[in-house]
Amino acid sequence: MIAIVLSACLISDPSVCRDHKIPLASGPSAARCMMTAPPHIAEWSEKHPQWRIVRWQCRTASLQDI
């Protein structure tokens, strides 16, 4: 399974950062993930206005990771 992994920091306290995973359907490759990630990232950002995304990546994740 491929997941988008967002590294985000609290806007109110930039020293507090966490990774958040957005699972994708089991079919996409890492390259496809990179092409389709921006809308998923934008949606996550809109739902979590207290966080600022500092970086993101696509990587393999197991169900336990998510």
Q: Which residues of the chain have pLDDT under 70?
A: 26-28, 62-66
**Rg for the chain, CA atoms, rounded:** 12
Task: Enumerate residues 6+ apart whose C-beta is below 8 A from 40.
Answer: 4, 22, 24
Whole-angstrom distance, CA of residue 49 vs CA of residue 26? 28
State which residues form the domain around 21.
2-60
Domain-embedded: residue 19: yes
**Is 27 a domain residue?**
yes
The pLDDT of residue 61: 74
pTM (2 d.p.): 0.81
Please provide the DSSP assignment of 40-55 as one string. Answer: HHHHHHHH-TTEEEEE
Number of domains in the chain: 1
Q: Is residue 66 part of a domain?
A: no
CA 61/CA 64 separation, integer angstroms: 8
State the pLDDT at residue 19.
96
